[in-house]
């Protein structure tokens, strides 16, 4: 499933903190740790759209996200 909702971070309710998305892949490359994440992103450039595969509520979904340069 491809969605456009972006990535979800931590959320807080009055009684708990819920974890957000965990990035499981970028494009066709699996992400198992920070080095995988960083090295895979390093292959792309600002202005590109990439398919990010987060683990969300126990399921891997696909969201298409634009990469932007941070100043």
pLDDT number for residue 26: 96
The C-alpha torsion from 19 through 43 and 35 to 27, rounded to 10°, is 40
Q: Give the model confidence (pLDDT) of 3-53 as tens digits.
A: 546 899 989 989 999 889 999 999 999 999 999 999 999 999 999 999 999
Domain carrying residue 47: 2-66
For residue 28, being part of any structural domain is answered with yes
Residue 71 pLDDT? 80
Residue pair 65/56 in contact (Cβ under 8 Å)? The answer is no
Question: Does residue 70 surpass a pLDDT of 90?
Answer: no
| Better-predicted residue by pLDDT, 13 or 1 | 13
**Does 50 fall in a domain?**
yes
44 lies in some domain: yes
11: in domain: yes
60 lies in some domain: yes
Query: What is the pLDDT at residue 1?
Result: 47
Residue 15 belongs to a domain: yes
CATH assignment at residue 56 = 2.30.42.10
The total number of structural domains in the chain stands at: 1
Question: Is 6 among the domain residues?
Answer: yes
């Amino acid at each position: 499933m491809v969605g456009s909702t972006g990535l979800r971070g931590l959320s807080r309710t009055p009684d708990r903190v819920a974890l957000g998305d965990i990035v499981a892949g970028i494009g066709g490359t699996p992400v198992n740790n920070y080095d995988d994440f960083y090295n895979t992103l390093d292959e792309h450039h600002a202005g590109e759209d990439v398919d990010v595969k987060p683990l969300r509520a126990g399921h891997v979904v696909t969201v298409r996200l634009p990469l932007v340069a941070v100043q």
